[in-house]
A and B are shown apart, each in its own frame.
Chain A
Amino acid sequence: MTATQELSSREARRGAWKTFQQTLEPARTVETWRRVSFSAWRMDALTDGQSSSGFKAALDPEAAKLGVILSSIDEAPARFSEVIRAHLSSWIASPDFRKLEAANLSQFRGGAFLYIPKGARLEKPVRISFAHRDAYEFPRLFAVIEDGAEASIVEEHFQDGASAKVSSVAFSHVTLGRGAKARWFYQQTLPGDASHFWHQRAEVGQDALLQHYSAILGGSVHKSELDVRLSAPGARSELKGVVFGEKSQAFDPHTNQDHRAPKTSSDLLYRTALKDKARAIFTGLIRVEKDAKGTEAYQQNNNVLLSNAARADSTPVLEILTDDVRCKHGATVGPLSADERFYLESRGLSPEEATKVLLMGLFDHVLGQTPVPERVVAEIERRLA
């Protein structure tokens, strides 16, 4: 039995399950869990042995020729067993998420392992689709992008004919080696009754660049943690996101631009549009450690409220421990531009058509990327019809 198989063995899962049972649910007073209710994920009703559907992926033959590996975590080639063992045994999340992480570690089936070797330049994007079907889903993803590699990866979460409400808890870990360039697309188009938790940690290495695009549309409750660590000099990241809510959806996205090394940079732009009674609470942290001299970090969060019952909260936070920095953040809440709307309507567009055009323009920083996120665009258009 290879190390990976060993780890996925019943022993390891039992250990994680024990931790899950022993860990208390976080209290409502804990800052991280003040905004959406932990009970939405129904962890109290989780029993051992519930399955996760795994993921669908097909690797482009060109990519395979370059040495790219896309397999389940269990079936990863033996030569990766050490690195996978390390991945599975390191707790990536904070204590507030320990219970969810233990649930995921004990219950995940298959998982996705992506390996892009040194210097490989992929023409086509790699698609990793998590089709949610069962009452509980535990996607787990581990991606290693080696030095000098370049790739686009699409991580999709959508529903595939489930009979009941789905509670999903996803953990993913991505590392970028020296000089690597990765474009990562996270697209969440689950139905309006799902509970979705997604935690990704990205480690950006020396002179590497991570361009991250999030499209968050689904779930009755969505909570995400995007933790980007710029841990070596010259590491850069661009984080772009769109959130579109309707009905009574609640979104709690948290991002962390974590600067730990000198001459790193990050630039975040997240935009939210909410109609009906939807609610979004954006919290973004820029933290610059003492050693991170020469850091440049920016954060912008724009919120558009399309109804009076919608609610947007925004808390951009700066924690700066060194003086040699340039940091800025901004947040706005307001309607779509009246001048722009007037211009469109004066050219014959109805108010609804104008809203659609303006919103698509607002979201262009994510939707305008290739590969075009078709599911996302279709869902937004449906909501604006």
Chain B
Amino acid sequence: MTTKPLIDKDDYQTKYGFHDPEKYLFKADKGLTRDVVIDISKRKSEPQWMLDFRLKAYDIYLSKPMPTWGNTQLLNAINFDDIYYYLKPSKNTADNWDQVPTDIKNTFTKLGIPQAEQKFLAGVTAQYDSEAVYHQINKELEKQGVIFLDMDAGLREFPDLVREYFGTVIPAMDNKFAALNSAVWSGGSFVYVPKNAKVALPLQAYFRINAEKAGQFERTLIIADEGSSVHYIEGCTAPTWSADALHSAVVELIAKKSAHIRYTTIQNWANNVYNLVTKRAVAHEDAFVEWVDGNLGSKITMKFPGVVLAGRGARAEILSCAFAGKGQHQDTGAKLVFAAPNTSGTIVSKSISKDGGRASYRGLVKVYPNATDVKVNVRCDALLLDEKSRSDTYPTMEINSERVNIGHEASVYKIGEEQLFYLQSRGLSESEATTMIVNGFFEAFTKELPLEYAVELNRLIQLEMEGAVG
């Protein structure tokens, strides 16, 4: 009875730890200046209003100080002048797989990204260092009137629609990194689902940071019109580099009356990436928004998906899981803001810290006076796998309304000796038993994912447990 490793460590390194020699059509100079912003806009042939938007955001970015909360030590180590803010790898967006440059095709083949026609999932956009390289819309989507484009194309083809919503959920003023993104954004997805259209298959996109010191500033805007429903999946990966890579994205979701948006992220940035993301949704009357957010990897992730419940009867669910390994800080959480009556929300956060990793939960539940009959439940569980690791929980509740039912519960613990013993008595070694308990711990999260993502997440966790990544 030998124990065969359940996964091949070398395979992972080849699979995710490689990079293509740099072949770029255009690469802006390092550092950010007003001219770089203007240049980005010109190369994309953007309308004047978008250039104005970018420039105003740039000024806001300069005027705002770095945040004084969070892991300020790591944040202040970012050298903003030492980053490339724009890279365009090919001439135009390809309309079918053949038109994609070979290098890039190889990258995606290596990553196992499905070719849309044959696969289960509809419409793949693939982002490669700031520009959408390949995208294809499934015929079904076209028939339904669903728009699914990279953000640049969205702005080009539907300028009025974009203008109506762009920056309405997360204005540049929101925080320094939202301002940065608003100035230099490139790529990301634009999705519009018309009234009552129900998109059956998930829309997915992949992102990749390749060039050394490349910053990723994708911008995603999803509008689900009344009565519609859509599931969007974002999966990330990056090669392992020694220099730092900055990822500062903005995701805005608008769910109109009775619409349903589910946004899933499985993120696995390499350990040198700074991942600072602002994600927020507005849920109107009777709408339902779900954030399913999985965080592994990166040097530091700061991400607090939020929902503003702006219409009566709106609902939100935020499910977040984080794994902080050696040298990592997962600073994640959720925000729920209740601004209308008869609304409800749940937050479930599960985090694991190992090898001195640090997992923090930062949450906000805010209820305004006009939000009566509000029900909220927050549950945070943190599992510490060894004595070097650290867990923090900073949940804030600001309740200004009487007819509410708010509950928050958090627990921190380590794996029980009895649990381990039970599994070991059934033949599992200590590490096998620990991995099984860890997977069980994340089960509430993984069961919400489409199958191949659940499988990938389990594999990544396995590798984290074995210390293969890092």
A and B touch in the complex (CB under 8 A): yes
Cα-based distance from A309 to B389 in the complex (angstroms): 42
Indicate whether A326 reaches chain B with its CB closer than 8 angstroms.
Answer: yes
Cα-based distance from A311 to B372 in the complex (angstroms): 13
Cα-based distance from A218 to B323 in the complex (angstroms): 45
- When distances are taken between beta carbons in the complex, the residues of chain A under 8 Å from B400 are 311
Segment of A87-95, A176-184, A231-239, A328-336 in the binding face: A328-336
A334 touches B391 (CB 8 A): no
A307 touches B407 (CB 8 A): no
Question: Within the complex, what minimum Cβ distance (angstroms) separates A265 from chain B?
Answer: 14
Question: Within the complex, what minimum Cβ distance (angstroms) separates B62 from chain A?
Answer: 21
Question: Within the complex, what minimum Cβ distance (angstroms) separates A137 from chain B?
Answer: 32
Known: A326-B411, A326-B412. 19 other contacts (CB 8 A): A308-B372, A308-B401, A308-B403, A312-B397, A319-B390, A322-B387, A323-B387, A327-B411, A327-B413, A328-B411, A329-B393, A329-B408, A330-B407, A331-B406, A331-B408, A332-B405, A333-B404, A333-B406, A335-B405
- When distances are taken between beta carbons in the complex, the residues of chain B under 8 Å from A321 are 390
- Interface residue SS majority, chain B: strand
A313 touches B396 (CB 8 A): yes
B399 touches A303 (CB 8 A): yes
A320 touches B391 (CB 8 A): yes
Segment of B105-113, B184-192, B378-386 in the binding face: B378-386
A333 touches B399 (CB 8 A): yes
Q: Which residue of B lies closest to A322 (CB)?
A: B387
Indicate whether A157 reaches chain B with its CB closer than 8 angstroms.
Answer: no
Known: A311-B399, A332-B406. A323 touches B392 (CB 8 A): no
- When distances are taken between beta carbons in the complex, the residues of chain B under 8 Å from A312 are 397, 399
Residues of A within 8 A of B (CB): 290, 293, 303, 305-335
- When distances are taken between beta carbons in the complex, the residues of chain A under 8 Å from B410 are 316, 318, 328-330
Q: Interface residue tally of chain B, by bracket? A: 20 to 34
- When distances are taken between beta carbons in the complex, the residues of chain B under 8 Å from A326 are 411-413
The 5 closest A-B pairs by CB, nearest first: A323-B384, A333-B406, A318-B393, A323-B414, A308-B402
A308 touches B394 (CB 8 A): no
- When distances are taken between beta carbons in the complex, the residues of chain B under 8 Å from A308 are 369, 372, 401-403
Q: Which residue of B lies closest to A313 (CB)?
A: B398
Q: Which residue of B lies closest to A328 (CB)?
A: B411
Cα-based distance from A361 to B416 in the complex (angstroms): 36
Cα-based distance from A329 to B395 in the complex (angstroms): 10
Cα-based distance from A321 to B394 in the complex (angstroms): 15
Q: List 23 A-B contacts (CB under 8 A).
A: A290-B387, A305-B404, A307-B402, A308-B372, A311-B398, A312-B397, A313-B399, A314-B399, A315-B396, A316-B410, A320-B412, A321-B390, A323-B387, A323-B389, A323-B414, A328-B412, A330-B408, A330-B409, A331-B406, A332-B406, A333-B397, A334-B406, A335-B403
Question: Within the complex, what minimum Cβ distance (angstroms) separates B428 from chain A?
Answer: 20
- When distances are taken between beta carbons in the complex, the residues of chain A under 8 Å from B409 are 328-330
Pick the contact of B399 from A290, A305, A318 — CB < 8 Å? A305
Question: Within the complex, what minimum Cβ distance (angstroms) separates B8 from chain A?
Answer: 30
Pick the contact of B397 from A307, A315, A335 — CB < 8 Å? A315
Cα-based distance from A113 to B302 in the complex (angstroms): 49
Question: Within the complex, what minimum Cβ distance (angstroms) separates B175 from chain A?
Answer: 16
Q: Which residue of B lies closest to A288 (CB)?
A: B412
- Interface residue SS majority, chain A: strand
Pick the contact of A317 from B390, B393, B403 — CB < 8 Å? B393
Q: Which residue of B lies closest to A310 (CB)?
A: B402
Cα-based distance from A307 to B369 in the complex (angstroms): 10
Contacting residues of chain B (400-441) with chain A, CB-CB under 8 angstroms: 400-414
Q: Which residue of A lies closest to B394 (CB)?
A: A317
A313 touches B405 (CB 8 A): no
Cα-based distance from A331 to B408 in the complex (angstroms): 5
Question: Within the complex, what minimum Cβ distance (angstroms) separates B152 from chain A?
Answer: 39
Question: Within the complex, what minimum Cβ distance (angstroms) separates A260 from chain B?
Answer: 15
A320 touches B382 (CB 8 A): yes
Question: Within the complex, what minimum Cβ distance (angstroms) separates B102 from chain A?
Answer: 49
Question: Within the complex, what minimum Cβ distance (angstroms) separates A279 from chain B?
Answer: 9
- When distances are taken between beta carbons in the complex, the residues of chain A under 8 Å from B382 are 318, 320
- When distances are taken between beta carbons in the complex, the residues of chain A under 8 Å from B389 are 323
- When distances are taken between beta carbons in the complex, the residues of chain B under 8 Å from A313 are 396-399
Q: Which residue of B lies closest to A275 (CB)?
A: B402
B412 touches A325 (CB 8 A): yes
Question: Within the complex, what minimum Cβ distance (angstroms) separates B67 from chain A?
Answer: 13
Q: Which residue of A lies closest to B360 (CB)?
A: A319
- When distances are taken between beta carbons in the complex, the residues of chain A under 8 Å from B405 are 332-335
- When distances are taken between beta carbons in the complex, the residues of chain A under 8 Å from B398 are 311, 313
Question: Within the complex, what minimum Cβ distance (angstroms) separates B386 from chain A?
Answer: 6
B390 touches A320 (CB 8 A): yes
- When distances are taken between beta carbons in the complex, the residues of chain A under 8 Å from B404 are 305, 333-335
B387 touches A293 (CB 8 A): yes
Q: Which residue of B lies closest to A299 (CB)?
A: B410
Question: Within the complex, what minimum Cβ distance (angstroms) separates B340 from chain A?
Answer: 15
Cα-based distance from A329 to B397 in the complex (angstroms): 13
Q: Which residue of A lies closest to B367 (CB)?
A: A333
- When distances are taken between beta carbons in the complex, the residues of chain B under 8 Å from A334 are 404-407
Cα-based distance from A43 to B411 in the complex (angstroms): 41
Cα-based distance from A323 to B390 in the complex (angstroms): 8
- When distances are taken between beta carbons in the complex, the residues of chain A under 8 Å from B411 are 326-328
Known: A320-B384, A328-B409. A305 touches B402 (CB 8 A): yes
B402 touches A335 (CB 8 A): yes
Cα-based distance from A311 to B399 in the complex (angstroms): 6
How would residues 347 to 374 of chain B score, 1 for a CB under 8 Å from any chain A CB and 0 otherwise?
A: 0000000000000000000000100100
Cα-based distance from A311 to B368 in the complex (angstroms): 9
Pick the contact of A318 from B372, B396, B412 — CB < 8 Å? B412
Cα-based distance from A325 to B413 in the complex (angstroms): 6
Q: Which residue of B lies closest to A279 (CB)?
A: B400
Q: Which residue of A lies closest to B369 (CB)?
A: A308
Known: A308-B401, A329-B409, A331-B408. A318 touches B414 (CB 8 A): no
Cα-based distance from A347 to B338 in the complex (angstroms): 37
Cα-based distance from A60 to B395 in the complex (angstroms): 46
Q: Which residue of A lies closest to B398 (CB)?
A: A313
Cα-based distance from A290 to B384 in the complex (angstroms): 12
- When distances are taken between beta carbons in the complex, the residues of chain A under 8 Å from B372 are 308
- When distances are taken between beta carbons in the complex, the residues of chain A under 8 Å from B390 are 319-321
Known: A313-B397, A314-B397. A325 touches B406 (CB 8 A): no
